[in-house]
Structure 1
């Protein structure tokens, strides 16, 4: 396989990353805390946590796990919180104890939570107070024997949440332990995270990510950005939930390594509140999904912020639409940079260049030490410019799905590439582009229609705020294109939008049906859920 993307690499970025300096994530965290001890590590509303405090408290929490609870290296600890100060503290404590972080979406139903706790075999859970009732409902059917409750500042207390489990304790009690943990030697091959996938094709699966996987991706990402980021001087806005792998690796761990100040947004749906926080705290970097950036652009007061210090705006999780990128550049004077990855790849595989001034559509170039191969259904590489399944190999790719040997046999090729399930192509300059998820393709009279393209065209119309495209049964063509639309302009009609699409799309791609909605279903990180529209 030719690495023909290397000719488009930025000057100074090597083909491969250097040898990793740390043996574990806990080691990286401890080193950063001591190097930047006087700096602020995390901010949540009026509350702050310095690097010195993070160091001392996470060390105590690690001792609580290792000594008081007798959790061995590799035991699983679930974390069920929104973005509050206790989250990065908990992540740091679990990792420094040599235990495995199991991130849990706090909005999970009892059924979803029970599956994840049972599948992971978690022995303990740290849960924010409003979600204790969900934990209590399933506890008896899991292996969890310790519940640590985190009171939440700035959120209403839940009347139904009672600490009636015999193993329940409050986080502050755990942090007041006098125990001292003996040093635990960890290796790159030790498991650091079980990162559960969305479960769109059945029960969610735990991607087993090692310390080596995560450290490699932190190093790859840092190497790619070069001197874009300055140690001890960054302020990053973290509106993506930390339980999402992108926010955990990029926002939390990568910026922690640099001694950055991380501004945690507990409720990203409160866009006016978010804008007020950005005005108060400042911002040098921000990450999000396309709908998040679009939402900010449509929030009063955002365009009046001072963007002079902003030098990294990174989109991931779903395609950044050119229309949104253009508006972002017009309002902020800065470009959006799109990247791509998955839970199974720690997560970042590809990123666009940050050293060129213009937005470039697509997912960019593979990070150092990363190989990308575009393959057909028979596993053969397709020609450059043709679409196929994106397959990836590199040090950031997971060990496999937790206790799922049959799934792992399907997930990897014989030569060790991970099958992402995403359809992609490589252009003449070596850059990669996602055309869509294989399962989201619409087949019209034998022609493949990719929803991302239809949605991007709809986004170009000034009357459209958001859209989502699916396929619906059609007697003549097998399937036809249907688009759900949220209006920006109340005067927008179905015919006006269809005419707009006819000007920009070949006939079989033009929507046959358009349905207007007041809002589109979204995941907790803001990705539009087409599967719910297919319903």
Structure 2
């Protein structure tokens, strides 16, 4: 059952006790220490200390690690980084599947105040090369299963000074012997400023080029506080991780520790394996995107498994079909918790708690919840003025959760911070109870199965096919994926191309999640009065 502790009490107990300060700060008589700020490195050290003798993570190979083992190995990575010449000016890229070394690398970078960015395991070399060049990456650390991709990346990015693999590989030097050369040492939180940037998260943009979203110590400290205070964590949390540990999954590790829980990691989402893990380990908490929930609901073997231990299913990243959400609540019970956020304001702008999922109220179930009180949230018009309740306006936010800006993109930063607000690009309506319902997106991003797909990037690939005259990519409603990436393609006169030809081209260049699931061949792409492709007309035509 959920612990009977008020969120504010939980937060105070975890973050602001006198014992906490004494554990993470050295003794000093200097007045400058009296109001010294604490950030996620301090929380990490304290959480590992508090869970030193308890198994906190269970891995795909059947092994587990205690808090002390995580801390000791992370300290070896810190020392290895320093011994190999890395420092605060170093810039690291990580490409890995779900393995424990992901935690050690990301936490060591955090504790050494180095900048790190994660390359998505489902990405393509073109995307990786852009990130490496744009972020001035000098060190890449990778899982050997991506050896072939990193080999190509090395050829395209000669500025890489260090190419380290987490084991034997052909493309990089094995990092693990460097790590094992060191003895465990106490972890020490770095001296940092809240506005210092230690993480870049890359997301696409309206220009078709990814943007480096800066993550500061202040931003991620706030994110963790909000997750502890507002998310509904079961007592004795046993969380099954099915998302990439280098991305969303990694953000769950510290809150799980602070909640006194444990994390069970599997390589990837596979319905039968997930149900086996839930039944065997009495999993009571999971974060899933809607397509994963649908897959569990629809799997023919689902009745074979006891999933009754689940107390909280956390979902987000894309809209969930209202009929399917109603079906899920009836199947699993009132255990669904929704979060809404974006990389620029990570994880939690609003939440809809389990008790707020009213199964017989479709409008409520189509909501993304109510704003959390830790940041300012408003619905604004194009002039930056608040809109009346019941009228559509862009979700805008400001406060300590908001990113510092886009890396090396001052014009885009100024644009997204217009009127001194962060503009999310999502258009919503607020109901009388304060719940937000997203009705449209100001941008054309397609959210499919929890992945963000930016049409321009896909259009640019399809346009390289010699038979293609014009193309427009957009999202259409899909019961399984939330939205399906859909392409309307006009061919050159006298030339031919099949849907399979187009799909293969995109898959080879951008990866499977950006490949259109639906391709329509049309005589011409409709345009607006301004001569731009009329995506609204295309969505209307092909959404039936």
Contact 2:392 2:429 in 1 (8 A): yes
273-282 vs 524-533, which deviates more?
A: 524-533
The correspondence for 2:384, drawn from 367, 379, 382, is 379
Post-superposition offset of 1:218: 1.0
Cα gap change, 1:266 to 1:11, in 2 (>3 Å): closer
Superposition deviation, residue 142 in structure 1: 4.6
Measure the CA separation in 1 of the matches of 2:265 and 2:369.
28
Aligned to 1:115, the other structure's residue is in SS state: helix
Structure 1 pair 200/240, CA: closer, same or farther in 2 (3 Å)? farther
Once the two structures are TM-superposed, the CA of residue 241 in structure 1 deviates from its matched residue by 1.5
- The change in CA–CA distance for 1:47 and 1:525 in structure 2 (over 3 A counts) is farther
- Among 419, 431, 435, the residue aligned to 1:431: 435
SS at match of 1:346: strand
Q: Output one character per residue of 1:67-111: Cα deviation in whole Å (capped at 9) or x when no partner.
A: 212322253221111222221222112112221221111233222
Within the candidate set 96, 106, 110, 1:91 is matched to 106
* Matching of residue 51 in structure 1 with residue 67 in structure 2: yes
* Structure 1, 49-58 or 300-309: larger mean CA deviation: 300-309
Q: Which residue of 1 aligns with 2:266?
A: 265
> How far off is 1:369 after superposition?
1.6
Give the secondary-structure state (helix, strand or coil) at the position aligned to 1:41. Answer: strand
Query: Do residues 295 (structure 1) and 301 (structure 2) align?
Result: no
For residues 62-101 of structure 1, the aligned pairs below 5 Å read 62-65=78-81, 67-73=82-88, 75-101=90-116
Q: Which SS does the other structure have where 2:344 is aligned? A: helix
Does structure 1 retain, via aligned residues, the 8 Å contact 2:391–2:429?
yes
Q: Cα distance, 1:424 vs. partner?
A: 1.2
Residue 197 of structure 1 is matched in structure 2 by 203
Selected match of 1:394 from 383, 396, 399: 399
Correspondence 1:516-527 to 2 at 5 A: none
Match of 2:249 among 247, 250, 272: 247
3-state secondary structure, aligned to 1:54: helix
Q: Secondary structure at the match of 2:443?
A: helix
Distance 1:142 1:267 in 2: 32
For this pair of structures, how many residues does the alignment match? 445
- Does the 8 Å contact 1:317/1:527 carry over to 2? no
> Does the 8 Å contact 1:194/1:207 carry over to 2?
yes
Q: Retained in 1: the 8 A contact 2:416–2:422?
A: yes
Distance 1:427 1:398, change over 3 A: same
Q: 1:436 to 1:242 in 2, by over 3 A?
A: farther
Which residue of structure 2 aligns with residue 411 of structure 1?
416
1:209 Cα deviation after fit: 0.7
- Rounded to whole Å, the distance in 2 between the matches of 1:24 and 1:202 is 34
Residue 307 of structure 1: CA displacement? 3.6
Unaligned runs of 5+ in 2: 17-36, 447-473, 490-502, 522-544
Q: What is the distance in 1 between the residues matched to 2:520 and 2:94?
A: 32
Q: What's 1:221 paired with? A: 227
Taking a change above 3 Å as real, the CA distance of residues 229 and 533 of structure 1, as seen in their structure-2 partners, is farther
Q: TM-score scaled by structure 1? A: 0.74
Cross-structure match for 1:347: 347
Tell me if 1:116 matches 2:131. Answer: yes
Distance 1:382 1:285 in 2: 37
Does 2:194 match 1:188? Answer: yes
| CA positional deviation for 1:199 | 4.7
| TM-score, length basis structure 2 | 0.73
Task: Describe the shift of the 1:213–1:527 C-alpha distance in structure 2 as closer, same or farther (beyond 3 A).
Answer: farther
Q: Distance in 2 between matches of 1:385 and 1:471?
A: 33
Change (3 A) 1:533 1:73: farther
Q: Structure 1 469/209 Cα, relative in aligned 2: closer, same or farther at 3 Å?
A: closer
2:425 to 421, 426, 439: 421
Partner of 1:208: 214
Alpha-carbon RMSD: 3.5
**In structure 1, how many angstroms separate the alpha carbons of the residues matched to 2:181 and 2:441?**
48
Render the CA deviation track for 1:404-439: whole Å, top value 9, x for unaligned: 111101111232x11111111111111111113223
Partner of 2:282: 282
What secondary structure sits across from 1:400 in the alignment? coil
Provide the rounded CA distance (Å) in 2 between the counterparts of 1:330 and 1:278. 19
SS of residue in 1 equivalent to 2:419: coil
Cα pair 1:44 1:263 within 8 Å, conserved: yes
Change (3 A) 1:467 1:183: closer
The 3-state SS of whatever aligns with 1:121 is coil
Structure 2 residue aligned with 1:145 = 161
**Matches of 2:112 and 2:205 in 1, distance apart?**
29
Q: State the distance in 2 between where 1:236 and 1:275 align.
A: 13
Which residue matches 2:170?
162
Given that 2:320 and 2:482 are in contact with CA atoms closer than 8 Å, whether structure 1 keeps it comes out as no
Q: Distance in 2 between matches of 1:316 and 1:350?
A: 11
Residue 34 (structure 1) shift = 1.0
